Amino acid sequence: KQWYQRRVRGDEHISTNLSSGFNMIARRLACSLQPLTSKSVVSARTLEYGAGWANNLEEETEIGLSVDPTLKEIVNYYYNKAAPLCEEMSIRKLRLGSYDKTMQLIRGTLGVIKPCNDNIAVSFGIRREDGRIETVTGYRSQHSHHRTPCKGGIRFHESIDQATVQALAKVNSFTSSLVDVPFGGAKGGVRINPSNYSTRELEKITRRFTVELGKKGFIGPGVDVMGPDLGTGEQEMNWIADTYRNTIGSNDLNSYACVTGKSRLMGGIHARESSAGKGLFLVTSEFLDNADIMKRVQLIPGVFGKKVVVQGFGNLGMHASR
């Protein structure tokens, strides 16, 4: 506090815009995320960030001792570990009046960042090819609207639920802020096993889910843009784009921009399918080329001579391995 009060205005860039300040705090929060260790315990200061900022924040658990924590618990644990560090870094970059007023803004912003802004769960029936009527449930979460559109993939998996979708939406916000791309985080999913359905049945599910999201305002080029994820690909994105264009987005010139990862015939980008795998390889290479980090873990810098375990051989694992 004394350092803040003594500092002369103009010594360094100070953000006074609330929108840019929000994104700066989100980016610093992402930079502060620490690895989860099996014996970590949430400190008293960390728990303050889980319960002290806003009344609607749920109580956190000490998942460092949990044998099998959920994805939501892991993300919240990371968040609560990063928040105190983010606060200390942000106070040096943000000036809005007095120290107390600035600190109040930072803590308030961090409290706003934690929960997802909008969540939706939809259920609808489809007729299977054998005549049975089956109920399908889908989810979509928009974590933050500080920058729009929201951006996040949609996955088809039988274990997907609202809590998992919310956790993944938060991660998307942090990663977007970290690399300073103008998107808020979002995520969606349909609780099915795609291998149990025919192509025609998957098309029915995808198109109906698109219509349900459109009726609730959860899809659109400037609102919420989907992309492929686990269990989905170009074909599903083509169905979503076509459905949106012929229904809610019929008067929108940019209607096909409601999704990314489309086929090239639908306006998609070349090499989109392999981009995530290549990105993983490049990030891993940069990490292994860092001499300081390699010295700490007692490894020789560089990729050469190292063995890598790839779990799964889908779109991501296959292209990363190549």
Active-site annotation, residues: 187
| CA distances in angstroms from 101 to 19, 20, 58, 104, listed in the order given | 17, 17, 26, 5
Is omega for the bond preceding 149 within 30 degrees of 0, making it cis? Answer: yes
Q: Token pair for residue 314?
A: 């889908």
Q: What are the CB-based long-range contacts (under 8 Å, 24+) for 121-124? A: 121/162, 122/209, 122/212, 122/213, 122/216, 124/208, 124/209, 124/212
> How many CA atoms does the CB half-sphere of 219 hold within 13 Å?
32
Per DSSP, the residues of 156-195 read E-TT--HHHHHHHHHHHHHHHHHTT-S-EEEEEEE-S-GG
Distances (CA, A) of 105 to 75, 87, 116: 23, 10, 19
For residue 222, give both structure tokens. 């400037």
Contact call for residues 44 and 66 (beta carbons, < 8 A): no
Residue among 36, 83, 84, 90 at smallest CA distance from 64: 36
Cβ atoms within 10 A of the Cβ of 292, count?
Answer: 7
> Could you identify the residue written with the tokens 């390889």?
281
**β-pairing verdict for 224-228 and 184-190:** unpaired
Question: Among all chains, which residue has been given the structure tokens 């658990």?
Answer: 61
CA separation for the pair 202, 194 (Å, rounded) = 7
